[in-house]
Amino acid sequence: MNKKAGVSVKTNDYVKYMTQTIVKYADQPKEERKRLRSERKQARASFWYRWFGILPYILYTEVKKKRKL
């Protein structure tokens, strides 16, 4: 019976955390949510870097620079 009680406590903690997160999100003004979303999007690494690593990313940027010149 002790194991079941431990699992329910963890479940209750998780439900409490999720509820707090949802309420915090819902209480924010729409403009604030949009601003935070755009900041997170700008802070993310580019597609090439995330999917292929640093070397292909450097190669891609160098080719892109040469095409502009």
Average pLDDT over residues 58-62: 87
DSSP at 1: -
Q: What contacts 56, CB < 8 A, 6 or more positions away?
A: 48
Residue 34 has pLDDT above 90, yes or no: yes
Q: How far apart are the first and last CA of the chain?
A: 72
- Which pLDDT does position 29 carry in this prediction? 94
Rounded Cα gap, residues 64 and 69, in angstroms: 9
Q: What is the mean pLDDT of residues 18-33?
A: 93
Structure tokens at 68: 């502009």
Of residues 57 and 15, more confidently modeled: 15
Residue of 51, 41, 48, 42 whose CA lies nearest to 63: 48
pTM over 0.85: no
Summarised one tens digit per residue, pLDDT across range 39-50 is 988 888 777 677
